[in-house]
């Protein structure tokens, strides 16, 4: 079964509050068996335009990524992130 991924491009406006988001989301990520593969605050932009930070999180499968995103724990953490950052986020299925 292919892995599932959350890919986010984030523009943080309040770094202290974003640290609160990271602390709140960490146990939920663990609960859903996620691994943060990329957490780059300054990616090398080669084409197009994007937000300054890129995050890639791997899940056992795409359904687990969806359950994580919709979970109560992440919904609460997401509210903190939404207050301190602008985010483009997608859930994708990996290649088998």
pLDDT of residue 44: 84
Could you read off the pLDDT of 65-93 as tens digits, one per residue?
999 999 999 999 999 999 999 999 999 99
What total number of domains does the chain contain?
1
For tokens 């640290």, name the residue. 19
Q: Quick one: which H or E segment has residue 86?
A: strand 85-93
pLDDT of residue 95: 94
User: CA 9, 22, 20 angle in degrees (round to 5)?
Assistant: 120
Pairing of strands 85-93, 4-12: antiparallel
pTM of the model: 0.92
The pLDDT of residue 45 is above 90: no
CATH number for the domain that contains residue 37:
3.30.70.100
Determine the structural domain holding residue 31 and report its residue range.
4-93
């Amino acid at each position: 079964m292919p892995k599932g991924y959350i890919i986010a491009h984030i523009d943080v406006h309040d770094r202290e509050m974003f640290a609160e988001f990271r602390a709140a989301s960490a146990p939920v990520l663990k609960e859903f068996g996620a691994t943060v593969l990329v957490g780059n605050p300054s990616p090398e932009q080669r084409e197009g335009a994007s937000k300054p930070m890129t995050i890639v999180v791997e899940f056992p499968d795409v359904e687990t990524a969806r359950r994580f995103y919709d979970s109560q724990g992440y919904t609460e953490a997401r509210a903190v992130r939404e207050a301190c950052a602008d985010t483009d986020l997608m859930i994708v299925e990996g290649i088998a």
